Amino acid sequence: MKDLRFKFLIGIAICLIAFCSIGNAQTPAATADAQMQQWRDAKFGLFLHWGLYSQAAGDWKGKPYKGNEHFMIYEKLSLKEYGSLAKDFNPTSFDAGKWVKAAKQAGMKYIIITSKHHDGFAMFNSHTNDYNIVKQTPFKRDPLKELADSCKAYGMKLGFYYSLGRDWEDPDVATDWPTKGARSNVVDYPNEDAKDFSKYFERKVKPQVKQLLSEYGPVSVIWFDTPERISKPQSEELYAMVKSLQPNCVVNNRVGNGLGDFKVSEQQITDKTDNQPWESCITMSKGWGYNKHDTEWKSPELIVRQLVEVVCKGGNLLLNIGPKGDGTFPPQAIERLKAVGKWMNINSEAIYGTRPWMVAGEQISEVALSSSAIKIDVDNDATSTAILPDIYFAAKGKVIYVFARSWKEPAINIKSISADKFTVVKVTLLGAKTAVKWEQNKNGLNCSVPFVLPDEIPVYVFKVQLK
């Protein structure tokens, strides 16, 4: 009898396990979509451009150089001349935990770091190419390994930037933009026609990308760049390699040839809402790599305005810092991360996990914002630097988050939430202890609060609960 009962219990257990596993068995497409939704929910990441150019920090032979992180080709340097930076590159102040904590406190959910930029210098211990930080510098440590460990410790997702179509160390990387050879190393390798991308692809790209995906723990994003000369089969092979080694890793569309899981908008914010996964990568200052002469730091208010605009249009913001050659963040970056983090501490529920609402935003003042009113920062950055009051919307279920950007008045009328279209049941102001006085009519939702001034970022969020 006992034996029978035991067999019966085993049968029940097997059925239960089977049922649960069926419940969880997702098709590849379902898991891919879940990955992208998770990536879309994260909204805010830190981009880090760190390499030998950081050591030069804006000067070459005592004079400011041209081209920032591209200065090797702008100053027409040989690999030997540029590579001489390695002997002094010793970022002993590098502390991966400090970087990750600073990003986390700013409300960032993922970090993308340059594993190898156009100069071809690997910021990790590449087994297949000695032109790297462990083999060529007195530092001898692998900062990407240390960063991976810290990301794991602090629950931060990690991704790697990898320059595909430009590599000034490898002899087989030709370029043709804006003109033939314009973005190539023509000092050591002058004959563009003799260059065979496939040799570089097999010799350097594949083994390095494979190593990054095999030896640094979970990788959330591979962020390829400049895919100009890669063939479609090569893009397909690379994309398949990423997915086979790290099925949960997402790939940007700069893997080339129309592939990739999300679109990249560089130094720009799309003018319309886009419900397909996209990310805007924007510099906190003027350039991507550290440059001591770079004084064009965006204000915390402008950074938050851009985060809000990107999120309300359906995108993620990848905000860039160029760490210094000593391994620390520039003080201007640290102070901005802290300021943005204070704003996120109050308002992050309106950012994470939201999706665009039926309209992206509306103007507060009746005055039409003529294009001339929006000063476009032509320096390397096509995002608007104009600080004009306006409203943006994001949605999460029955809640509409209304971002009043650079709003200075005690009352605001939100035309898009009019009584003939929606029934509002509750309105609060995130972070405020004071109640919001509100009234809804056919002209909109009118809200007023005793004016609450946060420290320095006048971007307020009304949480509007709809019926």
Binding site for ligand FHN (CB under 6 A): 69, 225-226, 266, 281, 288
Q: What are the E-state strand segments in 198-262? A: 221-225, 250-251
Preceding amide of 178 cis, omega within 30: yes
CB of 281 to ligand FHN, least distance (A): 5
Cα 172 versus chain centre, distance: 30
Burial state string for 90-106 with b = 16 or more CB within 10 A and e = fewer than 16:
bbeebebeebbbbbbeb
CB of 88 to ligand FHN, least distance (A): 22
Q: Which residue is nearest to ligand FHN (CB)?
A: 288
| Distance between CA atoms of residues 222 and 244, nearest Å | 13
Cα 330–Cα 333–Cα 334 angle in degrees, nearest 5: 90
Nearer to ligand FHN, 226 or 246 (CB): 226
Closer of 19 and 74 to ligand FHN (Cβ): 74
Considering only CA atoms, which of 403, 385, 388 is closest in space to residue 464?
403
268 vs 328 by CB, closer to ligand FHN:
268
Q: Shortest Cβ distance from residue 374 to ligand FHN (Å)?
A: 23
**Cβ distance to ligand FHN smaller for residue 69 or 167:** 69
Tell me how far, at minimum, the Cβ of 117 lies from ligand FHN, in Å. Answer: 6
Comparing CB distances to ligand FHN, the nearer of 307 and 404 is 307
* Amino acid at site 183: R
Least distance (Å) from ligand FHN to the CB of residue 379?
15
Beta carbon nearer to ligand FHN, 277 or 341: 277
Six token digits for residue 289: 């790599």
Least Å from the CB of residue 262 to ligand FHN: 13
CB 174 within 8 A of CB 197: yes
Of 326, 340, 264, the closest CA to residue 298 belongs to 340
